[in-house]
Structures are given as structure tokens and as C-alpha cells.
Structure 1
């Protein structure tokens, strides 16, 4: 007498389908010693029932006027518990592999990032990985759904890739030390600013403005690159190093 699914939440509420023979006139379905909360006799070979709450492994039996069937196992699964999520931020375009650790994750079927869901890969009962779906910039709650229920409490931050439009002033001495203002979009989460590949100290002013101090560099034009967790943008030949006078 197969039962599908053969596992469900310890809180109950799982709709199961039981198939067999001589099931007409079913009067009760028991999960261990507890009665199903709802029973429907679909046909002489099929009965549906909603599991009550429970724990561990229990035998499911069907009772008809002809007697009670042999038990088939049903596995109660507790709700998942999430501990960590890494990395905790990434591009609004999605596509980042995130690792979630916790307990009770072996039956994970979906992970929701806000309103968008993705199908995880189960590594162990304590670890799953999932590729983030696309999402709007900002923090969203992360919910893991398993046979035992759903669990939330962690968050993931979607970051838009930066754009760079101007740098003022756009030239300075090769010794560095020029204070510049870089304008663009999605600059709040800036993680680095480089001039010709050399990192520069910077301060985020707003989502559209970053202040930086040029490092030393060779005379000539260099690219200015602004990066965050979602990517980077380049102002090609954005800054010109000017050699000092010689006598």
C-alpha cells in the first residue's frame, strides 16, 4: 500500500495519497495512534488524507468495514533552521551561488529571495546551495521551504552594478594626492576605486557621488574603475596624470 508523499511536516497538514485495493468505504486513516484530520475515499484503489501533527516515523493504516490494513511508514520532518548565508549580497542580475547552513535542510525544495524563488541543491542535512534569482536593489528576506515547513530570518542584499559618468577634477600631479569627486549611480555600496589599477582611498558621499584621493601614477591618461559586489564600471582614460616641471 504505497503512500505519497511519505514524509511531511511535524506540524501536520500534509495531503497524502494512499493507493491499494478494497479501499471503498474507508472509515478512518491513522498516522500512528492519531487520526488523519481529513479523509476522502477517491476510489476503490485510492484514499487521500491530511496528516495530523506528529514526530519521528509512524505507521499509516487504513480502516474499512473489512478491517485495518498493515501499516506503511510516514516520516515526520521538523521545520528547517538556518544559521548562516554566504555571501550575503550580490548583483540584481542574480546568478550568484549562495551557501546556506543550518539543520533540517535535506528535504529543501525551494528558497525564496523576497518574492522570487529558486531551486536549491542539497549538499547535506546541514548545508544547501542555491543560485540567486534576479531581484530589485535592496535587502530581502530569505525563506527555505522543506518537507517540514518553512524558515526565514536571514536576509540577502541585492546590489545594482555601479555606473561612472564624471570625475572632477580630471587631472592632477603624478605624485598623487588630488582630491576628486566621482559621480554616477549605485555608488552607495562601492567597495573599491582604482586609478590605472592602483587602489585609491575613497569615501561614499551618496548613491551618486564618491570622493577619492588619487594615488601616485605615471604621466598620462589612466582608467578610473569603481567596483561593488555586483560588478564594476570603467571611465576610460578618465584621469590624466601630469608630470611636474623640470629645470
Structure 2
């Protein structure tokens, strides 16, 4: 059986779980506790030297990076085809999968400037936070993490990533003006790749970033959440209490972040 090393609230883990569920595949969970640094332990780093989740193990084959996992399961397992039909849509999907690298960093910024930051500060001592950051394999990402934890929504990373998010919202809204799903006529790989990211922003109360300017995203998000694969990927992993805490924190930050977002758009 497939084994998925993942974490409950991790957006990339959610992305992989939605893909597995859409393919109708069974998998065994190996759940990591990211705030405890499970992803930096030597045994896990042998599987995934980047020290991130998810990692898919298929026999002797180890697959890292959530977008690669989606392509892997679509290519080598039976089930509904996730990649859309037609050259143009397939090319568009591949571009979106590449864009997920910068999209993920933007979502990471918004998360660690708000809900994740508060959770860490409330549960870890300064020494424990220093140890977690020191264990991160990538020095650039470690420096970013430290900046977000120290500065929160005042971090310069926010406005740098506003550019990424504006393009995502604009491009999604344009695509959804001519079709029901990002993947075309049916839900598929592009939708799976993006759903966890937009879902995270909504769950930390950042939906004001798209509701008025790019409103088609809201209907698309609701439709994606209505699918059985979404429930399979979220409901047994993240409690309603955890969701409520994240939203409550985000709501406190939104007035400031929303004002900066509006100023960014007006500039």
C-alpha cells in the first residue's frame, strides 16, 4: 500500500490527500507533528532532504513535492484521469504546477504571519523556536521563518508576496469566466493543485483578498469543498476547533492586512 508522510493542516499534504482521494487510491498515513520538528529528524530527512511534507512512498520509490506526487499517481495508477484533455489545457496545467512553488511560499508567508505564528509563540519557548529554525535545512527559508515569527504581519515578506497572490487571483478569475473548473470541464489536477492554497487563505480569514475583485474564486472554492475528496482529505485530519482558532486569529489580523492589500492594489 502507498504510504504518505504528511501532516494534518499542511497545505501540501492536503493537496496530496485530495489527489489520492480523487484517484480512488488507498494509502497509509504516517503523520508528522511539524511544530515538534518531526520533519527534521534524520530518518525523515533520508526520505526527504528538504525537510518538508508530504512524501509518498510506493514500494522502493520515494516521491517528494506535492505537485510531483499528483503527476506520479496520475501517470502510474488506475482511476479518474486528473490531467485534462487537450494540449492547451495540459500545457496550462503544467505551468500552474510550476507556479505552485511561488504560490506555496506566498501562502506560507500569510500563514506564518498570522495563525501559525501565534500557535508557535503560544506553545514554544524562545529556545525551542530557535532550535526549530536552526534545524531547517534551507538557510534562506530559515531566515524567512525567523523574520515572520519576529515581525508577524509587519514582515516585508507580505507585500512581496502580494504580487504573487494578485496574479493568481486575476488568472484564476479569468480562467473561471469561461469554464466551471480550472482544469476545464471537469475537476482535475489544476483544481487539486490550487484548492488547498485558496482554502488555507479562507480559513485564516483572508477571503477579502479576492471576494470583490475576483469573485469567481469564491464559487469555485465552494464547489471544490463540496467534493467527497475534500472531506476525505480534511475532515479526519483537522478538527473544527482548530479551524475556528485559525479563523479567529486571521480575523484579528485582517483589518491591517486588508488595508495593506488595498493600498497595494491602488498603487
TM-score of the two chains, using structure 2 as the length reference: 0.19
Larger of the two Rg values belongs to structure: 1
Name the structure with the higher strand share. Answer: 1
For CA contacts below 8 A with separation 6 or more, give which structure has more relative contact order: 2
TM-score of the two chains, using structure 1 as the length reference: 0.20
